[in-house]
Amino acid sequence: MAFDELRPNDSDHTGWSDSSARAVLQLMVESVAELIGFEIATLSVALDGDLVTVAYAGPEEHREFLMNAVDPVEVIAPVLERAESWGRFRFLDADVHHIELEGHWVQLAPERDEHPDAWHPENVLLGLLSDDDGRLVGLLSVDLPVSGRRPDAAQRSLLEKYAAQAERAVLTAFEREELVRQVAHAESARQVVRAAAMPAQASLESVLQQTHEPLLEGFQASGLWAEVFGVDGGSWGYARNREGEVMEVADEVVALAREIAPQLWAAQQVLVMGNDAELETPPSLTEGLVGEAVGLAATMDLDRVLAVPLGAGSECLGLLVLTRNFAHPVWSSVDQASALEIGHDLGAALLTARALERERTLVRELKEIDDYRSQLFATLSHELRTPLTVISGNLEIVGGLGLDDRAKVFLDAMGRGADRMQKVVDDLMLLARVSHPRHPLAAVPIDLREVADDVVTLLDLTAIAKGLTIEVDLEDHPLLVPGDPTELDQLVANLVSNAVKYTPSGGTVTLSARRRGDDVEVRVADDGLGIAEEDQARIFRAFYRTENPDALNEPGTGLGLAIVATVVERHGGRLDVASRLGEGTTFTVALPSYVAAGG
């Protein structure tokens, strides 16, 4: 039979990934049939208690029946009970034992042959293929000798040779399959571990939760414990069995893990306990430590333990412990090697998660500080407002009392001081209001052209008095944005008043507004003092004023731009400054356009 006539997949009950193993076995049965002289030769492998026929040589009419045969291993029990032993083969003489055989056998029409060695069609001749421990791994059966006679001594010895080869081939195929399976499992576990490390979902707990199942699955483990060491000397554990139940891990076990893990990580080794072979102490660990580990494993009723260090770079981040029952296989070298790889993958995932967690904590703390600051501003400005009103009112009354000129000078100074305080309090209140966490934006459609016009009307006189020109360049159609009218007014007013304030006489301030893509862009440009490069990032902080003496000559609170930045942020916009000291400054604000409902 030609090689390519095989249909390895049609009748594939083995689930073997490697069809070359089947091809080898097929060649073997063909050789047995042709070279030793049997019309039928089949090879079955024992899989999970079943005999599955994987190779067949013989008449086409029986192929279908035999190649699809899956029978429980017990079908051969009656044969084994009575058969004669010929080395690996068992021969059942149908003339002596009249037994009813079920399954797995082809019933052939008896032919009459009276020779004492004549082959009876119901005779059974099968070779038992077993592993080193004597467990049945397969069957090589032959039927219908071409000679019509029972095999002679020469044929039997050939049969024995072929059976031995077939046994090797089957065992190799099983080993290969086991290897492929282990690698595939470990590989899929690795992929899950890597996926779990994707930043979007990475928290320490989520990484461990998501990788738990696939790791148990991939390593055929009965339980999993991951202990992650914190930077502060503390640690955090996650231990579950296959049913998802939490397993208790005693403090002394955690303490041992903390001791063992860094040493294993440094040496890139794993610790294996409960393998059938003698316990091997990894060179990185002392016998004392290993002895302690074995003792603890015994008190916890753990059969087979694989302890794997978790880490990244030179840093050991934790220990992963996988457990198996004695019913499960020993930790193979593939298991150990893949576990070490997982230690790297999981380590990298944990490192990312830890960094992210730290970042999140930081952001949370900053947010808290920020909230606290706006609350402080709110309280402060409210507390100052009332006494300030009292002071201003009383100053006014005192002014009307007909004071002498000297007293008036003092009174004026007090009045100016009160005005400045009033400005600070007003700005503080506004900043507190726009940055208050529980003060949502009540947005309505606002035409920024109108805002710009209003601001210019308000500031034009000041500009003229200072010898400045304000140029206005607005597109001649509404420039609508969703926003709070007071806040947007304040935004533009602060920018234009700064430009006027920080531009010497003779200069020009330009206010322009236009559509740009999905935004409305407002620009306030001046050719005034300019802002030093190093100050440009800081001017948006509350109370920050540059050290430029010319700028400091102008009155100010340092709150104007902080308000601008907060309002822009609340409106989902962007704020940009471009400036050169001594040449001028341009502030650009981009706010998302208003999109009317329905288009």
The residue type of 400 is G
Instruction: For the CB of residue 585, give the shortest distance to ligand ADP in the complex, in Å.
Output: 4
Find the shortest distance in angstroms from Cβ 418 to ligand ADP.
17
Minimum distance, C-beta of residue 455 to ligand ADP, in the bound complex (Å):
14
Nearer Cβ to ligand ADP (261/468): 468
C-alpha torsion angle, residues 57, 143, 137, 81 (rounded to 10) = 170
Between 147 and 548, whose beta carbon lies closer to ligand ADP? 548
End-to-end CA distance of the chain: 74
Q: CB 257 → ligand ADP: shortest distance, Å?
A: 54
The distance of closest approach from Cβ of residue 584 to ligand ADP in the complex, given in angstroms and rounded to an integer, is 8
The contacts found for 449-454 with CB under 8 angstroms, 24 or more apart, are: 449/474, 449/475, 449/478, 449/479, 449/513, 451/485, 451/488, 451/489, 451/492, 452/492, 452/511, 452/513, 452/522, 454/489
Structure tokens at 165: 């080869």
Nearer to ligand ADP, 221 or 525 (CB): 525
| Cβ closest to ligand ADP, residue 337 vs residue 384 | 384
Q: Two tokens at 23?
A: 């091809």
Selection from 121, 167, 149 nearest residue 37 by Cα: 149
Specify the residue, 310 or 451, whose C-beta has the smaller distance to ligand ADP: 451
CB of 554 to ligand ADP, least distance (A): 7
Distances (CA, A) of 54 to 25, 108, 265: 8, 21, 45
- For residue 540, the 8-state DSSP code is T
Nearer to ligand ADP, 236 or 544 (CB): 544
Tokens of 579: 């400036």
Q: Is 251 buried (19+), middle (13-18) or exposed (0-12) by CB count in 10 A?
A: exposed
Minimum distance of ligand ADP from residue 433's CB (angstroms): 16
Q: Which residue, 197 or 491, is less far from ligand ADP as judged by CB? A: 491
Min separation Cβ 562 and ligand ADP, Å: 6
Task: Provide CB contacts within 8 A for 555, sequence distance 6+.
Answer: 420, 423
Cβ atoms 562, 503 nearer than 8 A: no
Residue 103: name the closest of 135, 130, 129, 77 by CA. 77
> What's the CA gap between 189 and 452, in Å, rounded?
61
CB of 484 to ligand ADP, least distance (A): 19
Q: Which of 238, 530, 256, 215 is nearest to 341 (CA)?
A: 215
- Distance separating alpha carbons of residues 242 and 324, to the nearest angstrom: 10
Residue closer to ligand ADP, measured from CB, 143 or 427: 427
Nearer CB in complex with ligand ADP: 348/539 = 539
Q: Least CB distance from residue 540 to ligand ADP, whole Å?
A: 7
Beta bridge partners, 318, equal 228, 310
Closer residue to ligand ADP in complex, CB, 151/528? 528
| Site of tokens 């007909």 | 402
The 3-class SS string of 470-522 reads EEEEECCCCCEEEECHHHHHHHHHHHHHHHHHCCCCCCEEEEEEEEECCEEEE
Name the CA dihedral angle for 386, 387, 390, 394, rounded to a multiple of 10 degrees: -160
CA 348/CA 354 separation, integer angstroms: 10
Residue matched to tokens 């421990």: 133
**Residue in 580, 576, 579, 581 with CA at minimum distance from that of residue 591:** 576
Q: What is the length of the chain?
A: 599
Give the bridge partners for 515, in sequence order: 520
CB closer to ligand ADP out of 63 and 545 = 545
Beta-strand ranges (E) seen in 297-341 are 304-312, 315-324
Nearer to ligand ADP, 275 or 381 (CB): 381
Q: How far is the CB of 429 from ligand ADP (least distance, A)?
A: 15
**Where on the chain is the footprint of ligand ADP (CB under 6 A)?**
494, 498-499, 502, 526, 528-531, 539, 544-546, 548, 551, 556-562, 585
Q: How far is the CB of 577 from ligand ADP (least distance, A)?
A: 8
CB of 428 to ligand ADP, least distance (A): 12
CB of 470 to ligand ADP, least distance (A): 13
> Cβ neighbours of residue 370 under 8 Å, at least 6 residues apart?
435
- 8 A C-beta contact, residue 99 and residue 82: yes
Nearer to ligand ADP, 44 or 585 (CB): 585
Those residues with Cβ within 8 angstroms of residue 384's Cβ, 6 or more apart along the chain or in another chain: 421, 425, 428
The residue to which tokens 């731009």 are assigned: 561
Smallest gap from residue 590 Cβ to ligand ADP (A): 18
| Residue 268 or 486 having the CB closest to ligand ADP | 486
CB nearer ligand ADP, residue 140 or residue 468 = 468
